Amino acid sequence: LSGYEDLIKIIKEMKEKDPEGIRKTNEGGWHSHTDLHLDERFSLLKSEIINLGQEAMDHLSVEDYMMPELSGMWAVVNGPGSKNKLHTHPFNYLSGVFYLQVSPNSGTLTFHDPRPQAEVLSPPKNKNESIHTSSRVAWTPKQNDLLFFPSWLNHEVEKNNSNEDRIVISFNLELKRRM
């Protein structure tokens, strides 16, 4: 996705007006309230997320009478040294993140195998291990990346080791029956 640079300024203004934000999984950094999907300034991105969410649901073989609905959308500004602890997004079907501002070493998004004992009998693996057999998979984001993942999947955002803020918009999609 591209063309959303104006949202960086909007998020910085929101952070300036509410410097505390809210605490969720963020250690350091700033987390907006979770209702950005109700803010008109985010309506174009909201529409694009819903359309791409529908494509993801089609790919996942979700029945046609179900459609995606945004249940939450929020901004996260992780400055140098900030990160997000391991967590999931309960009561949702898909979650995702859109990377507005990313610099090298600003932190990977790491997914963890949700089976707690899966690593116990895991044999030694080579460095080119498939994501299908790995207990952890790291995504190194680039600006304008949009990523969907199952809401039940354990994930964390590694520490921002750059000198710049990483700015993202995260969201949750739930399933809604078409009328």
Residues whose CB is less than 8 angstroms from the CB of residue 29 and which lie 6 or more positions away in sequence, other chains included: 76, 77, 78, 79, 82, 83, 84, 160
DSSP letters for 90-102: TT-SEEEEEEEE-
Q: Is residue 4 within 8 Å of 100, Cβ to Cβ? A: yes
Residues of the chain with pLDDT below 50 are: none
Report if pTM > 0.75.
Answer: yes
pLDDT of res. 156: 97
- Report pLDDT digits (tens) over 12-61: 999 999 999 999 999 999 999 999 999 999 999 999 999 999 999 999 99
What does the DSSP 8-state code read for residue 35? B
**How is residue 19 written in tokens?**
């410097």
pLDDT of res. 176: 97
